Amino acid sequence: MFFKINQGKFKEWLLALKNQGEVYIPTKENNLWVYALLERQEWPAYFLNTRIPVKNLFFPNRQALLSWKYEPGSMGMNSFVPEGKKRLIVGLRPCDSRSLQLLKPVFAGEYADIFYLKNLDRTILIGLACSQICPGSFCREMQVDPQDSADNDIFLRATPEGFVAKVITERGKGLLAQGFFAEAGENDWAAAAQEMPGRDALFDLEIVKANLNSFFAQEEFWQKVSAKCLNCGICTYLCPTCHCFDICDLRTPEKGVRFRCYDSCAFPNFTKMAVHNPRAEKWRRYRQRVSHKFNFFFQNFQAIACVGCGRCVNFCPVNLDLREILTAIH
């Protein structure tokens, strides 16, 4: 089902969405793009993708899990109940919306993490087709289509006049039935597709997947490709699908809060135990990151934990390019 809307009406629609819940749109703050609560800012005329991936709104770097308080003779403990307020995020790129779905099986399952799942449940995702290929990105190699996405409730394609919307879910449909949109057809949708600049595929994902097991034992290969690595957490913290975390307490003498915060497999302390660290060497940690995304995650969840957004490539302080490593494995 397709609808269309012009620029002016779109802005009115965004404001009207605020009646439905909190609306987040891409906003440039402090020189970097983030999803910010819609207040007075304008819909951006142009943006590539946010610096901080959208996972941050679902799996924040600082999530309070529970609090406690010592009372005379006993102790009170409170669970932080995840918020139930409805949210709408407008302008998600296909890579980021895919990442939200990829993370779902990690947090679901026998031990369901309500913090993530409730955030996903309370958020309506309104995606937006890309107009340009981001630097460092390899989304098409990762089978993410920059022009279409089924991981949203509504997916938009920009046209010179406004947007064409494709309705994907029922709750998405509910949002369009508000008088702002006009009906459109398949042909409008097709016409709104933008030609993305072509480039030869760097690698074939299937071959990479097949080769990773045999590459795992090649110590020298991993030593060589990880030589530049700084052991910083940029690639994991900016990655839309990295989800490793740490649990830490903050306290005063009488009360405290237990938090979950990001942790990174690039840090030597990540796996360090009292006497032994199974991933003490840099190459092991780098191998873990690549293998986890492209091999282990696939074995556990039948999907690759990478959407090719290119943040880790573009923001790596030493230009350690994941694409080169995948190409080499290919």
Partner 1 sequence: MEEKNIYQPHLMEIIKIIVETGDTKTFHIQFLDEKLRENFHYLAGQFGEYSVFGEGEATFCISSSPTRRGHLEFSVKKVGRVTQALHQLNEGDLIGFRGPYGNFFPLEKFKGKNLLFIGGGIGLAPLRSLINNVVDTRADYRDITILYGARTPQDLCFKYDLEAWSKDPSLQLVTTVDVGDKDWKGKVGLVPIILEELQPSPQNAVAITCGPPIMIRYTLRALDKLGFAPDQVWTTLEMKMKCGLGKCGRCNIGPLYVCQDGPVFSLDEIQKFISDEF
Partner 2 sequence: MTENAQKGKTWEPRVLAFLCRWCSYAGADLTGSSRLNYPANVRILRVPCSGRVDPLFILKALRSGLDGVLVSGCHPGDCHYTAGNYHARRKFIILSRLLEYVGLDPRRVQFSWVSAAEGDKFAQVVREVVADVKELGPNELFRIPEFAPE
Partner 3 sequence: MANQVIENLSDLISLLTELFRNGRLTSFLGYQKGTVKFKSSPLIASRAEDLAALNLDDFLHYNLTFYLKEIKGKVGLLVKGCDSRSLISLIKEGQVQKEDLYIIGIPCPGQIDVKKIAFSMGCDPEDLEDITRSEEDGVIVRFRQQVQRLTKEQALLDKCLACFYPQPLLYDVLLQGDYLPPVPPKLRGEDETARKSAAEKWAYWSAQFARCLRCYACRNICPACFCPRCVVEENMPEWISPVPTLGDNFVFHLMRLMHVAGTCTSCGECERVCPVEIPLMKLNEKMAADLKELFAFEPGVDLEKPLPFRTYRQEDPNEFIK
Binding footprint of partner 3 on the chain (CB under 8 A): 30-33, 46-48, 51-52, 61-62, 134-136, 227-228, 230-234, 236-238, 246, 248, 250, 259, 261-264, 267, 269, 313-315, 317-319, 321, 323-324
Smallest distance, partner 2 to C-beta of residue 118, A: 17
The one among 6, 20, 159, 291 contacting partner 1 by CB under 8 A = 291
The one among 60, 245, 315, 324 contacting partner 1 by CB under 8 A = 245
Nearer to partner 2, 57 or 64 (CB): 64
Smallest distance, partner 2 to C-beta of residue 94, A: 33
Q: Does 250 bind partner 2 (CB under 8 A)?
A: yes
What CA–CA distance (Å, rounded) separates 290 from 216?
10
What CA–CA distance (Å, rounded) separates 115 from 5?
35
What CA–CA distance (Å, rounded) separates 149 from 162?
19
Nearer to partner 1, 98 or 279 (CB): 279
Q: Does 150 bind partner 1 (CB under 8 A)?
A: no
Contact (Cβ atoms closer than 8 angstroms) between residue 115 and residue 82: yes
What CA–CA distance (Å, rounded) separates 190 from 149?
14
Nearer to partner 3, 167 or 229 (CB): 229
* Angle CA 76–79–83, to nearest 5: 145
Instruction: Note the maximum CA span of the chain.
Output: 71
* Angle CA 54–250–62, to nearest 5: 0
Q: Which of partner 1, partner 2, partner 3, none does residue 107 bind (CB under 5 to 8 Å by kind)? A: partner 1
Q: Does 245 bind partner 2 (CB under 8 A)?
A: no
Contact (Cβ atoms closer than 8 angstroms) between residue 26 and residue 51: no
Q: Residues binding partner 1: what is the number (CB under 8 A)?
A: 53
Q: Which of partner 1, partner 2, partner 3, none does residue 113 bind (CB under 5 to 8 Å by kind)? A: partner 1
The amino acid sitting at 141 is E
Contact (Cβ atoms closer than 8 angstroms) between residue 22 and residue 208: no
- For 237, the 3-state DSSP assignment is helix
Interface ranges with partner 2 (CB under 8 A) = 64, 67, 78, 80, 250, 252, 255, 257, 259
